Structure 1
């Protein structure tokens, strides 16, 4: 069963085609917690029970395969050509969820490993300005804006988790569950992986077919009846969609290739007894909007550059976040005039800090928020959370956020030329699938 009417309902919760994150019920941050809940471990907020309508969840193993960039509407378009997707819909339930805000990889993948919102874990976008370094960094690759490794550019830089992360991982909190993360070889052992996989075993792979084999071998090696969670992260489709666009033949071919590998090496060859004891979840962190490659070049846009605030190094802080999640750190008293200029010159929605906090854009502020209500990472600074927002969030929350209706807004050629983009609030970006079925019933 595919729940298209719920997708329409989630999209209609917003206005003017800006879809808000559904943190209160069908939010992406609930995915890992829901998986662990099936295994008897309480790690945080879970999805409504109807995501498992018609699905037998009396299992010992849960496998979550995340296809980066494969939004719900992309699933709908691809399903007739991909037998695995059709069988997942027939054998189980395909529920639409909303991504986090921003609907981008750095925020959402950190959420996938922590089970909390960006407001709680503190990674608010691909690019972040860090006072401790006096520099803008790319969060997940842990590089400077120019692409140099942070550890080389700043030899005294703190560890990734100390610099960026507020929350513990779900693996640390999932008592009694054997957790593993299956990721591309280049990610395993990276700085961000070191912070986000604490409590899980890292398993590298060298191609999507190898990924499916590694997941199969992992499941067949788990002791009978022992609770196991396996996450497989697949970035390939996202990379193609960025360059070619989300609805192109190349992107469709990539989706078909990924599904075929999973079907052949995992669904088709897994020990039947293990398959009958395994819940399979296919999901995504975000979708894509097709910009046509015609994005907004902010170089030379004086209403922005005349008002950006100086950072700890005394240099102006450039826009951070990403092209679809533009975050500005502005001089005192200038937000109003910057907003007026952006809304005059661009088709966009803007938020002041007060507005996006009140709206819970990056995540709701929980009533009476204090240290104990956020699963705080071991080693985090003690003390009261400023204004109930979270330490990392309070440090790097921008003064102003701008979300273009359909384009990217940036100031570097590498990103201005991308056709497929994400990070914003369109339905195409915000809605993602949560497909669940017992693995033996998908075969």
Structure 2
């Protein structure tokens, strides 16, 4: 595997010491577990206990902008703020799974939030566990290819707690991602999370907080919107409260699964009928980085057609160059990334209406899944009490 940047001006995911995968390896090492993946190049000065705050959608550039605007003053108390890469694709399903499993997408098989699954013969929305065409639920039990780090910590008698929205309790993802931990749902108010963290640290060695609300504001209104700033101010209250209530000898880390880019252009590929004869099936993957299954011998036509809005590369080359974090743990994973990957340029995204309900969804003003710097770079803030 090389270190080639396949699309000029983009950021390669780093799995060798400078990414979120390596952050989890460092945390495992702190608690005495061995990981098959490298820790961070620069060691974290861990104290006895550790808290990881995962802010969905808070890219490094967004954090710095909010600090400069006075929205996230609590972040000024970090003794250090580093820059890490997300995984590819820079989407919640891929990156959050890495943060809970300590494994890259090449090992988990979670290569997008919307995948063609050969096992089911359809495209599935992995967030909602539904067939994209029928909107019927599907059983994703076969997608559990890896174990959570919490189950391994539990075997080593290291206690962990996950604090996350109570609306997610009992879901397939929560049960799998959080296996081996104590799960604590919260009904959101700014004062709730610091109290829950304080209580959890009385019986746990490692506490993880998942905060999805900022990501929602960025999707709906855009990462530079007033709504995103307002949410950052709420986050500031939570972050400051957690810092204030940390017991001695505790390390607090803040990171994210990905950042965001502003979206102002939408291309509905299902309406481009000249493209359809060249495809095996509708596109899958994320709206910013689409997987395209092409009929044999039609690659050049599809690449030329999509090049109006996207940089198009071979999915095989993505695997060869290590963009997914290594060789596929299961050869079936190769069928999930299509023949080509179309990476939308600038402020564009590529849509497909799998079902009439899709057309009723208001277009997002912020999105992610691609390789731009705003999507790929995420922060690592470190605070020792």
| In structure 2, distance between residues paired with 1:78 and 1:31 | 23
| In structure 2, distance between residues paired with 1:356 and 1:220 | 45
CA deviation profile, 1:374-428 (whole Å, cap 9, x unmatched): xxxxxxxxxxxxxx55344134231111101221111244667111010011100
User: 1:362: how far off?
Assistant: 1.5
2:127 aligned residue (140, 149, 152) = 140
User: 1:249: how far off?
Assistant: 1.5
| In structure 2, distance between residues paired with 1:64 and 1:100 | 18
CA deviation profile, 1:11-54 (whole Å, cap 9, x unmatched): x97763211111222122222221222222223424334253xx
> Which residue does the alignment assign to 2:320?
358
Give unpaired runs (5+ residues) of structure 2.
354-358
CA deviation profile, 1:346-370 (whole Å, cap 9, x unmatched): 2x221213211111121223xxxxx
| In structure 2, distance between residues paired with 1:395 and 1:217 | 45
2:197 counterpart of 1:257: no
> Number of residue pairs matched?
371
2:350 counterpart of 1:409: yes
> Which residue does the alignment assign to 2:356?
none
1:267 aligned residue (234, 243, 256) = 243
Alignment of 1:148-167 (within 5 A): 148=135, 150-151=137-138, 157=139, 160-162=140-142, 164-167=143-146
| In structure 1, distance between residues paired with 2:238 and 2:169 | 21
Alignment of 1:44-123 (within 5 A): 44-50=36-42, 52=44, 55=45, 57-59=46-48, 61-80=49-68, 81=70, 82-88=72-78, 92-123=79-110
Distance 1:51 1:415, change over 3 A: farther
2:315 counterpart of 1:327: no
Q: Where do 4+ consecutive residues of structure 1 move more than 6 Å?
A: none
2:13 aligned residue (21, 36, 48) = 21
RMSD: 2.2
| 1:433 partner SS | strand
User: 1:246: how far off?
Assistant: 0.4
| In structure 2, distance between residues paired with 1:44 and 1:124 | 20
1:169 aligned residue (130, 133, 148) = 148
Distance 1:341 1:13, change over 3 A: closer
TM-score by length of 1: 0.79
> Which residue does the alignment assign to 2:203?
221
Distance 1:202 1:242, change over 3 A: same
Q: Do 1:84 and 1:263's aligned partners in 2 also have CA atoms closer than 8 Å?
A: yes
Distance 1:291 1:33, change over 3 A: same
Q: Do 2:282 and 2:352's aligned partners in 1 also have CA atoms closer than 8 Å?
A: no
User: 1:235: how far off?
Assistant: 0.4
User: 1:220: how far off?
Assistant: 2.3
TM-score by length of 2: 0.90
Give unpaired runs (5+ residues) of structure 1.
1-11, 152-156, 223-227, 310-316, 366-387
| In structure 2, distance between residues paired with 1:94 and 1:342 | 38
